[in-house]
Amino acid sequence: MKMKFDRQFWVRCAAIVVVLLFGMLMFFIGKQHTILLDNKTITVNGQEIRALQLVEVQVNKLESLELAARDRDKVDVTRQSHKITITYTDSNWNEISFTRKFKVPLMEEMVIISIPTLVSDPEADQSLWLEKYELPAYAIQASPEEEVVITDDLAGLISL
Amino acid sequence: MNTQNMISSVKSTLKSFGLPRIIIGLFLLLLFILAPFVGVNIGTSLSDTLNRFGMNAVMVLAMVPMIHSGCGLNFGLPLGIIAGLLGGTLSMQFNFTGPSSFMMAILFATPFAVILGWGYGQLLNKVKGGEMMIATYVGFSSVAFMCIMWLLLPYSNPTMVWGYSGSGLRTTISTEGYYLHVLNDFFSIRLTEHLTIPTGMFLFFAVLALIIWAFLHTKTGTAMTAVGSNPVFARASGINVDKIRTLSVVMSTWLGAIGILVYQQSFGFIQLYMGPFYMALPAVSAILIGGASVNKATITNVIVGTFLFQGILTMTPSVMNSMIHTDMSEVIRIVVSNGMILYALTRRTEATR
Amino acid sequence: MHGYFLYEGVECLVETVALCNVRVTTKIERIEYMNEKEAPLLEMRHISKDFFGNQVLSDVNFTLKRGEILGLVGENGAGKSTLMKILFGMDEIHQTGGYGGDILLNGEKVAFATSIEALAAGIGMVHQEFSLLPDFSATENILLNREPLKYTVFSELFGERLNILDREKMTEISEKAIKRLAVPLDPEMLVSQMPVGHKQFTEIARELSKEGTGLVEGIKLLVLDEPTAVLSEQEADSLLKAMRLLAETGIAIIFISHRLQEIIDVCDTIMVMRDGKIMKTGPSKGVAIPDIAKWMVGREVNTSAIVHRVFDYENKDIILALRNLWVDMPGEVVRNVNLDVYKGEIIGIGGMAGQGKLGIPNGAMGLFPAGGHVTFEGKDIPLNSPRNFLDAGMAFVSEDRRGVGLLLDETLEWNVSFTAMQIQEKYLKQYLGGFFKWRDQKAIEEETNGYVKQLEIRCTSTKQKAKELSGGNQQKICLAKAFAVAPKLLFVSEPTRGIDIGAKSLVLKALRKYNEEQGTTIVMISSELEELRAICDRIAIVSDGKVLGILPATTDSAEFGLLMVGQKSEMIDGGSV
Amino acid sequence: MTLQRTKSQKVLRFLGNNTVPILFLVICAFGIPLSGYSTNYLVSEVVVRIARNSFLIVSLLIPILAGMGLNFGMTLGAMAGQIGLIFISDWGIVGIPGMLLAMIISTPISIALGLWCGKILNMAKGREMVTSYIIGFFMNGIYQLVVLYGMGSIIPIRSSALVLPRGYGIRNTVNLIGIRKSLDNVLTIKLFGVPIPLVTFAVIALLCIFVLWFKKTKLGQDMRSVGQDMEVARAAGIKVEHTRIVSIVISTVFAGYGMILYLQNIGTLNTYNSHMQIGMFSVAALLVGGATVSKANIRNVFLGVILFHLMFIVSPMAGKNLIGQAQLGEYFRVFVSYGVITISLVLYEVRKKRDRGDAGQLLAAEQGEAE
């Protein structure tokens, strides 16, 4: 089998490249991220930022979530860049609503957004209020018991 | 010059022996060599190997008649096994115990084996050329059919039927108190505390092997070989090819029936329902490893093959386990056995015709 | 040694060409012809070929002009097909050490490495057996693997083969090809539903369609190998017409056939081959069938040792009688044979290939479905069951050694002893009152060794596998097998096919010897007349599945030649002796 | 000249040629009332099965076209598809992008396996089916080697939901929640309360169109000729071996896609036995549709899926209502699936002989005239 650098060869190369690119595109737009929305009092470099009493959060066009103080909720999204809309009433009862775009790092399974930090300074860089989230160890070791692997392909025969 | 001759002769012998056989042989040898270093007791593994050899040898022997008569590899072995299962279960049903139960099992199994084998033979005569594929599926569908039967047949022996419903056979039935180890313990020789030789089982196999060997030296046996070698020639010599083929199938089926009984008496359990489903494949690959081809097989092939195959099956788990702490024996079994069958199927067998 | 009359042949050629010009061509073409006069379309010079010392062609010379139809006749094994294979550069020629002499196409020397090259040079061949696909239409078969394609975008990525077939164009091309034959052949008809004649036309149309499809600039020469053998009369006629039409368009045709009348009717020139030599080349005009027949037959076999004997049929009784025997043996159909065989004689059955002579023993034996009556020693033998045939005390040495005659994978001992063992329980030790019949290895060995000596079988040991022997020795093993059953009557079919001269005479001697010593009646079927004449007492000639006549072996070979080609001359009274 | 046949012979012949479908019609005719399922339920179930299985079955057509019989080697494709799915579920790619990516991953694997399989089958001409069948088993071994021992140790798999607790090897079941029904649910309409996954059907339709188109191509034509007579094809200069290999490769690749479609509908992957039955059930379904080892078309596929899966759905319930044991029904359908394959293989061989016999009769008839 000898290589011929004719037209067909190049067409094939091109096709392969296209497919690969398409695959990567799929990876980008298909990758699922879990965004944790957290409304807790936290301290960012010394100063304490208090949680809001009640805040309404909407990510993209998904149905909006109501978070009371010390609440945490999650949304699953695909693709990287999203926008978050936050609606709350400040101390002197006038309702404030603002929308903020942000980008989730590609390889992050799970990120957490601290609402109070975001509210305190909507223009701040996303690194301040969005950080990756590691599941606590116990969550991973969900099933410590060794499970037996059934390679017998007859198992499926009866219960199909 | 001489050396060249030497080399060529060596080459030819190797060729005749077959590359895969050599590889497998060496592999087994390696395992035996490694065993002591990784703390596996040679004695135990050897006696395991011998035991498994005895258990399976008869079923491998069941391949021989059909290969001889040109019906190809007997993928339909489960049919014979079913006859055996019927025999075994019946003899338990009628509460025969001890050695007599084994005798009775064989006795009960025989008529089933003959009838099933005869029908199976008739079928195979109708589909000359496509035997192997059809044999496979005859085996499968018969097993599936028996699954229904095991549920429906009016067995009543409490050791066999489901406790709660009181009807329908269990998936595994212990041969305890019936024909468990009747052959194993017959004159079994205990060399060390690890190494025991199941003499009875070997004797039994030896007898059967002798019978087959003798048969192949009789008039009919000769005819059978000729039919396998060149059916047209046989026909031109006034042989009724179909009759001979049917006979060979009946023999194979019967041997299959006996084979499974021998297996059970050593294994200790009767496996019903999907149990016999894939039992043909190990037997087939064993005889192929022994050097048989799709249309030639000898008793030697049976013995060598069964030993190599079972040897690997016993050695790999223990040695592997103690070496890399993972049991890959299952995978190795699948790859080796099916690889061997593939190898045989891709040989040019009808080259000289 | 036979002389051959080349000069004569050449003369005739010139004459012929003139003839056919007058007959077939328009002015313009005639001019072409003038130009081409010096360079004939095809010329073969001093062609010779041997298969491992066995000379099958020696110094064959002939030339062929445009639009000429050359009739090539000769007995089986005369070298016709070998000559054609050389022309086409078939593999088996190259594998067996090439050939001697030159082939000139349009004046320049050519040597085709493959039949594809030959095709490219404009030579087409239609073989005896069809190579057609049953579930394809005529069109699809005609254009097999040369289909015109419509572009599809996928072909860019996955290559040529993902273009769509251009059905309209295909039909167009095939219709064009069929039109040239001027036969009623429906391009859309499936081959499986065609009458055999149409299949033949499809084959020819395929060759014709090859021109103008890039592959070939134009078909110049067509070789038709026994195209009419399988055709009915009217089918054959329309084929011959088609051939004339093609010739008139300037295509030269080499026409191989056993039907001499056709040859005379359609050909411009007739070339007769015998023993790999050209016996005669001449214009068909004025040639009569008997002449051709004479040229064809009359081969010498070195059977010098065997002298003719006079077998007196006085008070010899009939041992075997065949009545209205029909046998359905593909390619060798027996239609209605009546034949009496006398005790102790050697009777030969001859005839052209495909005329049914081979069908007779195969049918009597029961290897192929047969009907009619076979009476052996007064008893009717039920047909279609080899067992009865053998039990009656007859034996058959098949022409198909490898397929029927031998257990190639088993030892010589087995091959020799098997039939006798199975039929007559020879070489068996019986135990338990015959319930247990044990193979007696010693007896088998002795017997086999006996035959190895008697028949001078060359083998390392009797344990050798049959497939390792040469053809001649395999044939001897087959004989030994038959002798082992000590038959009262022995059918021997093509005993010398494909074996070298030395072995031939040995086999023939062995047969004659066996016949004389054991008094066994022998029915010998062979397509080599001279060999029959050498050892037989009477020879029956079979044509179109019937016995045309029976002659004493001493009869002049020309008579046989006539019979073979289905011509009864007045002096022959069929059947009786 | 054709052989004259009496009416009865013709009827017998028809029955002979359609034994299996008729058999199944009968089984279903008995089974459906016994099971006591509502028509609506049955219809919706069947619709689901069609969407789920037909792609896989269509993948069997092309080797049959090339005269290589039923490609039991399609399990190879199924394995490739599963490997693709394992990867995407590890990377957390969801929805249709996930499926597409899985397909892209599966393709090269399928091609490689197909090439290998095709080469082997060329070495075992005349025994393609049994060989491809064994190839399935053999590859299953390799598959286990890769998935059970390779993944997580050599091949990086991060998700703890996939890898066995021991640190390497994939779990028995992989939850495909990410792509579950993602194609079916794109656009579903309800006809008489029967949900119909339009997009899935569209995809299947597309494949069918492809197959029809393919038959018109040069390659398709070559395959048909190779399928009829290798020697004639070779004499005509067609690359027989290559053509056969290509047919297997195509089949394998489609089998891979089919498996992905199948699993996106089911939603969970049984890592170590999903692929093994799929071959058998697809083949059985195709044969039930009236296909033979040498002839099969789209119609067979759909008729097959409907009949076969009707039997599949009703038999447990029917068994329960008949003898009071659902298990019996389950065994019954396994028996039937294998039985069907057996019967059709036998019929195929017998028919081959019978047709040869016809040729004989024809000649005998001629002799009759001659006498």
Q: Is the pLDDT of residue D255 over 90?
A: yes
Range of the domain at D75: 7-366
Subunits with 3+ C-beta pairs closer than 8 A to D: A, B, C
pLDDT for A152 equals 59
**In chain D, how many domains are there?**
1
Question: A-chain residues within 8 Å CB-CB of D140?
Answer: 153
Residue D197 lies in a domain: yes
Q: Do A11 and C156 touch (CB under 8 A)?
A: yes
User: pLDDT value at position C153?
Assistant: 86
CB contact under 8 A, C157 and A11: yes
Whether D42 has a pLDDT exceeding 80, the answer reads yes
More confident residue, D238 or C260: D238
Compute how many other C-beta atoms are within 10 angstroms of the C-beta atom of residue D64: 24
State how far Cα C518 lies from the chain centre. Answer: 33
- Strand order in A81-89's β-sheet? A65-68, A54-59, A81-89, A95-103
pLDDT of B330 strictly over 70: yes
If pLDDT is split at 50, 70 and 90, which confidence band does D364 have? low
CA–centroid distance for C422 within its chain:
34
Please determine, for residue D35, whether its predicted confidence score (pLDDT) is greater than 90. no
Average of per-residue pLDDT values in chain C: 81
Please tell me chain D's helix, strand, coil percentages from 3-state DSSP, rounded to the nearest 5. Answer: 75, 5, 20
Mutate which of A29, A80, A153 to test chain D, going by most D C-beta atoms within 10 A? A153
Nearest C-alpha in C relative to D238: C145
Residue predicted with more confidence, B36 or A141: B36
D324 C-beta neighbours (distance < 10 Å), count: 9
**Is residue C163 within 8 angstroms of chain D, CB to CB?**
yes
Partners of B222 on chain C (C-beta within 8 Å) are 414, 418, 421-422, 439
Residues 247-286 of D with CB under 8 A from A: 270, 272-274, 276-277, 281
- Looking at every residue in chain A, the average pLDDT score rounds to 81
| C357-374 confidence digits (pLDDT tens) | 899 999 999 888 888 899
Contact between chains at A151 and B277 (C-beta distance less than 8 A): no
> What mean pLDDT do residues B71-78 have?
90
Contact residues for C244 (Cβ-Cβ < 8 A; gap 6+): C69, C266
Residues 6+ apart with CB under 8 A from D133: B133, B136, D72, D73
Q: How many CB pairs under 8 A join B and D?
A: 106
Q: Would D216 be classed as within a structural domain?
A: yes
Q: Which chain D residue lies closest to C335 (C-alpha atoms)? A: D367
Q: What is the mean pLDDT of residues C486-515?
A: 85
Q: Nearest CA of chain B to the CA of A154: how many Å?
A: 8
Q: Does D288 reside within a domain?
A: yes
CB-based contact D253:D111 (threshold 8 Å): yes
Residue C577 has pLDDT above 60, yes or no: no
C window 127-156, beta carbon within 8 A of A: 156
Task: Give the pairing type, strands C489-493 and C521-525.
Answer: parallel
Q: Which of residues 228-247 of D touch C (CB under 8 A)?
A: 228-229, 231-233, 235-238
CA distance A109 to chain C (A): 38
The answer, for C336 touching chain D at a CB cutoff of 8 Å, is: yes
Residue with structure tokens 């029961």? Answer: C366
Instruction: List, for residues C438-468, the tens digit of each pLDDT value.
Output: 888 899 999 999 999 988 888 888 888 888 8
Q: Is residue D358 part of a domain?
A: yes
Residue whose tokens read 């199948």: D262
Helices (H), chain D: 7-17, 19-35, 39-58, 61-65, 74-91, 95-123, 128-144, 198-216, 218-228, 230-235, 240-266, 274-288, 298-323, 326-370
Reported as type and span, the H/E element at residue B251 is helix B241-267
Q: For C361-412, write each residue's pLDDT tens digit.
A: 999 998 888 888 999 988 999 988 899 999 999 999 998 888 888 988 889 9
Looking up tokens 């603002």 gives A98
Q: Are the C-beta atoms of B297 and B68 separated by less than 8 Å?
A: yes
Test mutation, D79, D331, D343, D355, chain B, max B CBs within 10 A: D331
Q: What is the mean pLDDT of residues B92-116?
A: 92
Best mutation target, C368, C398, C408, C423, to test chain B (most B CBs within 10 A): C408
pLDDT at A149: 67
The reply to whether residue A158 touches residue B274, judged by beta carbons under 8 angstroms, is yes
Residue in A27, A150, A153 nearest the CB of D172: A150
Residue D108 contacts A where some CB pair is shorter than 8 Å: no
Q: What are the residues whose beta carbons fall under 8 Å from the beta carbon of B159, sequence distance 6 or more?
A: B92, B173, B174, B177
Would you say residue D3 has pLDDT above 70? Answer: no
Q: How far is CA D13 from CA C248, D18, D347, D354, in A?
A: 50, 9, 12, 11
Model pLDDT, residue C278: 86
pLDDT of C38: 53
Minimum mean pLDDT range among B279-288, C33-42, C54-63, C503-512: C33-42
- Mutation choice for D interface testing from C133, C139, C141 by most D CBs within 10 A: C133
Q: Which residue of A has its CA nearest to B277?
A: A154
Give the pLDDT score at B14: 66
Other CB atoms within a 10 A radius of the CB of residue B38 amount to: 14
B237/C404 Cβ within 8 A: no
Per-residue confidence (pLDDT) for residue B241, from 0 to 100: 93
Tell me, letter by letter, the H, E, C secondary structure of C369-389.
Answer: CEEEEEEECCEECCCCCHHHH
Question: Does the distance separating the beta carbons of B151 and D137 come in below 8 Å?
Answer: no
Q: For residue D1, is it within any domain?
A: no
Q: State pLDDT tens for residues C121-174.
A: 888 888 877 889 988 999 999 988 888 888 988 888 888 888 899 999 999 989
Give the pLDDT confidence score for residue D362 in this predicted structure: 58
Instruction: Place A137 in a pLDDT band, splitting at 50, 70 and 90.
Output: low
Q: Which residue of A has its CA nearest to D327?
A: A158
CATH of the domain at D314: 1.10.3470
Min Cα separation B230/chain C (Å) = 6
Contacts of D137 in chain B (CB under 8 A): 281, 334, 338
CA angle C490, C495, C499 (to 5 degrees): 160
CA B246, CA B125: separation in Å to the nearest integer? 8
**Structural domain includes residue D371:** no
CA of C403, closest CA in chain B: separation in Å?
Answer: 6
Question: Average pLDDT for residues C499-509, to the nearest whole number?
Answer: 79
Residue of C nearest to A11 (CA): C157
Identify whether D322 is part of a domain: yes
- Mark yes or no for CB contact B330/A158 under 8 Å: no
Q: Which two tokens stand for residue D282?
A: 């697809």
Map tokens 């030959």 to a residue: C118
Q: What is the pLDDT of residues C24-79, one digit of tens each?
A: 333 333 334 444 455 688 888 888 888 776 778 888 888 888 889 999 988 766 78
Q: Residue D61 domain-assigned?
A: yes
Residue C570 is given by DSSP the state T
pLDDT of res. C80: 83
Chain B touched by C467 (CB under 8 Å)? yes
Q: Which residue in C72, C112, C119 sits closest to C90, CA to CA?
A: C112
ipTM of the complex: 0.82
**pLDDT greater than 60 at residue D326:** yes
For chains B and C, CB pairs below 8 A equal: 75
| DSSP H or E run through B270 | strand B269-271
Determine whether the interchain pair A31/D91 forms a contact, defined as Cβ–Cβ distance below 8 Å: yes
pLDDT at C2: 44
What are the tens digits of pLDDT across the range D72-116?
889 999 999 999 999 999 999 999 999 999 999 999 999 999 999
Query: Is residue C560 pLDDT above 60, yes or no?
Result: yes
Strands C221-225 and C252-256: parallel
Structure tokens that stand for B284 in this block = 């087939």
pLDDT of residue D62: 94
Task: State the count of interchain CB pairs (< 8 A) between A and D.
Answer: 90
pLDDT at B2: 61
